[in-house]
Amino acid sequence: MNKDQVKGTAKDIAGKVQEEAGRAVGSKEHEAKGLGKQVSGKAQKKYGDAKEAAKDATKDAADEL
């Protein structure tokens, strides 16, 4: 697991909390910001997943040599 995966997951969770808090108090602005954080977090996690996959593929290729 790399830092992008961890930070992305944290942003996603924070966004869910912010969205729910906005919904609880009736703030569409906070709901939207929470959804934005979730999207950003998911994108960052996907980037981290891709980096991890590339690292694993490189390691596997090196092991085959």
CA nearest 35: which of 48, 52, 17, 51? 17
pLDDT, one tens digit per residue, over 2-51 is 999 999 999 999 999 999 999 999 999 999 999 999 999 999 999 999 99
Domain count, the chain: 1
Q: For residue 56, give its domain range.
A: 3-64
Confidence at 64, pLDDT banded by 50, 70, 90: confident
What spatial distance separates the first Cα and last Cα of the chain, rounded to whole Å? 25
- SS3 helix, strand, coil % of the chain, rounded to 5? 90, 0, 10
pLDDT at 65: 74
Average pLDDT, the chain: 96
